[in-house]
Amino acid sequence: MKNFNLIIHGLTNMPNLTPSEKLVLIHLYTLKSMGIDMSHVEVSCKMLSYTRHGYQKILKRLVQKGLVQELRPRGNYGLTNTDLF
């Protein structure tokens, strides 16, 4: 993934996102930079020390904003194919 630092810097300066949404997006972009395109709710909520319900609530808000999409049913989410650059 090219321009990873610029993407993370851009995410932290987005005024329309809450800090928890920014943290989840940074987590998803970090996974994508390591070659993991899909995030499972149960594993990711443990990594971020969130409850499963709280993590899904944040993901649903990000889905409504169009930044995240549900890739498979039952808790697998990933980033949408939007090119920032």
* CATH code, domain carrying 35: 1.10.10
44 domain residue, yes or no = yes
Domains: count for the chain: 1
**Beta strands across the sheet bearing 68-72:** 39-40, 76-79, 68-72
| Closest by Cα among 71, 41, 73 to 56 | 41
> Per residue of the chain (85 residues), what is the pLDDT tens digit?
677 778 888 888 889 999 999 999 999 988 888 888 889 999 999 999 999 999 999 999 999 998 899 888 888 888 887 665 4
36 domain residue, yes or no = yes
Q: What is the spatial distance between Cα 10 and Cα 47, in angstroms, rounded to a whole number?
A: 23
Q: What is the spatial distance between Cα 67 and Cα 85, in angstroms, rounded to a whole number?
A: 15
What lies within 8 Å, CB to CB, of 40 at 6+ separation is 75, 76
74 domain residue, yes or no = yes
Q: What is the pTM of this model?
A: 0.85
Q: Which domain holds residue 62?
A: 4-79
